[in-house]
Amino acid sequence: MKEEAATFQSLFHQYYPQLHSYVSGIVGAGDAEDIVEDVFEELWSRREGIEIGDKIGGFLYRSALSHSLNHLRHKGVTDRHVQMVRQINEVGLRLVDGGNTAQDHLEREELRATLMKAINELPDKCREVFKLSYLHGMKSKDIGDVLGISTRTVDAHIYTALKALRKRLQGIDWLFLIIFFNFCLSSFF
């Protein structure tokens, strides 16, 4: 029982932040907290039937999607809208969401350092915009006002930064796989 609670707590700490972002990306920022708590409530109530292994991420993301869609339905969003959100995110679940990421392999501090390093390596203007957006949470329009550039240019910089960071982080994923593979080989022989 105690062990069960400890596992639950560590899963919560690992997945709450990313699920919060995932759900915000589906229902918008305001209602994510409650929905993610619903997801973990479901995990807790079904803990006996679920194996906590590699697939737990898949379970949590699927549960988060279905809770989010329910929320949208209750909120009175049109059926067509909900269907579209569902279809899009089903593709996401199939290809990417809920799978392992660099986040799962690295310690929090390590990941943070990697991210900061990657951000600092961005081209000047792009870095400046991205820091304002990401580190200071500023809206694109406000960043544009501060730097004297159009909102459109701001968005373009943010997009470029995200793409660059994605490449870096995916590199970590690959690197991790290679290390893992080597480890398997060495322990095999």
- Is 33 an interacting residue with respect to other proteins (CB under 8 A)? yes
Choice between 146 and 184, CB closer to other proteins: 146
- Would you say how long the chain is, in residues? 189
Minimum distance of other proteins from residue 124's CB (angstroms): 19
Alpha-carbon distance values, 60 to 14, 17, 55, 65, 92 (Å): 11, 12, 9, 9, 14
- Give per-residue burial for 96-111: e unless 16+ CB within 10 Å, then b: ebbeebbeebbeeeeb
Work out which of 50, 96, 146, 178 binds other proteins, going by CB under 8 A: 96
Q: Name the segment binding other proteins (CB under 8 A); options: 37-45, 47-55, 142-150, 180-188.
A: 37-45
Mutual angle of helices 124-134 and 140-147, in 10-degree steps: 130
Alpha-carbon distance values, 135 to 71, 83, 119, 132 (Å): 30, 34, 10, 6
- Sign for the pseudo-dihedral over CA of 102, 105, 107, 110: negative
Work out which of 12, 58, 62, 131 binds other proteins, going by CB under 8 A: 12
- Is 125 an interacting residue with respect to other proteins (CB under 8 A)? no
3-class secondary structure, 29? coil
- Is 2 an interacting residue with respect to other proteins (CB under 8 A)? no
Contact code string over 140-179 relative to other proteins, x by CB under 8 A: x-----------x--xx-xx--xx-xx--xx---------
Minimum distance of other proteins from residue 186's CB (angstroms): 29
What are 37's two structure tokens?
A: 């708590």
Choice between 17 and 178, CB closer to other proteins: 17
Number of residues that bind other proteins (CB under 8 A): 55
Look at residues 85, 71, 84 and name the one whose alpha carbon lies nearest to residue 37: 71
Q: Which residues bind other proteins (CB under 8 A)?
A: 9, 12-13, 16-18, 20-22, 24-29, 33, 36-37, 40-41, 44, 78, 80-81, 84-85, 87-88, 91-92, 95-97, 101-103, 108, 111-112, 115, 134-135, 137, 140, 152, 155-156, 158-159, 162-163, 165-166, 169-170
